[in-house]
């Protein structure tokens, strides 16, 4: 059923009756689809009344009401479900089982990018890393720095709050040169102190001190000038 336009009489009737009548009834009487009635009502800014929405005629589930339509489809006490004893909702047919995703299998980008345990790579920070497992949910945690593995092989797990790092001037990504004598265990606090710009570059530390002295002098001159004006 198609309608190309609405007459003035139909629009007036829709405005009068839309709020308290079922849309399906109006669609049948107008000779058009329910979607077309909804579209026209939306165009006119019409809405169902609150009393209609709270009534059974709205078709909505009403809290506390026992409707025959709801009772008929309700699961009855003692009723046996159709899929009792069936593991999952599929997989019983051999064609279905043949195409099911197998545990541990990979496809797409995961399969293309996969490398086996023991593979090595250079991290974005320039450290040599080795893959130690395939199970960690965070892919990056499947890799561990080789320098850390070398240290732990001799001393065991790294204590909490500490890190293994290279001695000054000994950092390398060459596995042959990552040896115990090139490594040390330090606390994170000590590492943060070492990595502070003032401690990493003596010249920069002097510039920071000079900048502070100049700032203090400028502030002093400005303060004295303000005091003279007052």
Would you state the pLDDT for residue 1? 47
Is 219 within the bounds of a domain? yes
CA distances from 86 to 83, 130, 191 (A): 5, 44, 58
pLDDT category, 203, cuts 50, 70, 90?
confident
72: which 2 tokens? 């008929």
Q: Are residues 182 and 204 in the same domain?
A: no
Phi–psi pair at 98, nearest 5 degrees: -65, -30
Share of the chain above pLDDT 70, in %: 81
Q: Are residues 126 and 184 in the same domain?
A: yes
CA distances from 225 to 82, 211, 218, 220 (A): 91, 21, 11, 9
Q: Which of 38, 58, 78 is the last residue of a domain?
A: 58
Would you state the pLDDT for residue 42? 92
CA distances from 222 to 65, 129, 174, 230 (A): 80, 55, 57, 13
Task: Please tell me the total count of domains within the chain.
Answer: 3
Would you state the pLDDT for residue 118? 92
Q: Are residues 129 and 178 in the same domain?
A: yes
Q: Write down the pTM of the prediction.
A: 0.45
Is 75 within the bounds of a domain? no
Q: Are residues 125 and 181 in the same domain?
A: yes
Q: Are residues 178 and 137 in the same domain?
A: yes
Q: Are residues 33 and 13 in the same domain?
A: yes
Q: Are residues 128 and 177 in the same domain?
A: yes
pLDDT category, 212, cuts 50, 70, 90?
confident
CA distances from 81 to 12, 77, 166, 206 (A): 51, 11, 65, 80
pLDDT over threshold 70, residue 69: no
Is 20 within the bounds of a domain? yes
Q: Are residues 132 and 163 in the same domain?
A: yes
Q: Are residues 163 and 217 in the same domain?
A: no
Is 208 within the bounds of a domain? yes
Is 90 within the bounds of a domain? no
Tell me if 168 sits within 8 A of 186, measured CB to CB.
no
Could you write out the DSSP letters of every residue in 160-204? TTEEEEEPTT---S-GGG--GGGEEEEEHHHHHHHHSHHHH-HHH
Domain with 167, as residue range(s), is 120-188
149: which 2 tokens? 């593995």
Is 194 within the bounds of a domain? no
Is 138 within the bounds of a domain? yes
Is 49 within the bounds of a domain? yes
Q: Which of 58, 82, 97 is the last residue of a domain?
A: 58
Q: What DSSP state is assigned to residue 6?
A: -
């Amino acid at each position: 059923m198609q309608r190309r336009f609405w007459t003035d009489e139909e629009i007036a009737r829709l405005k009068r009756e839309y709020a308290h009548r079922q849309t399906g009834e109006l669609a049948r009487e107008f000779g058009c689809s329910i979607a077309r009635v909804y579209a026209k009502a939306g165009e006119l800014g019409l809405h169902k009344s609150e009393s209609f929405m709270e009534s059974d005629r709205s078709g909505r589930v009403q809290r506390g009401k026992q409707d025959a339509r709801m009772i008929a489809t309700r699961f009855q006490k003692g009723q046996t479900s159709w899929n009792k004893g069936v593991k999952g909702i599929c997989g019983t047919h051999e064609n279905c089982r043949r195409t099911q995703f197998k545990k541990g299998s990979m496809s797409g980008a995961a399969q293309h990018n996969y490398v086996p345990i023991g593979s090595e790579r250079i991290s974005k920070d320039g450290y040599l890393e080795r893959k130690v497992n395939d199970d960690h949910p965070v892919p990056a945690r499947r890799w561990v720095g080789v320098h850390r593995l070398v240290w732990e092989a001799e001393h065991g797990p790294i204590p909490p709050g500490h890190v293994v790092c290279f001695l000054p001037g000994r950092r390398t990504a060459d596995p042959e040169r990552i040896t115990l004598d090139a490594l040390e265990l330090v606390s994170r606090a000590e590492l943060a102190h070492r990595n502070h710009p003032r401690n990493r570059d003596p010249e920069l530390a002097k510039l920071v001190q000079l900048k502070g002295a100049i700032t203090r002098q400028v502030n002093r001159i400005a303060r004295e000038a303000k005091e003279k004006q007052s």
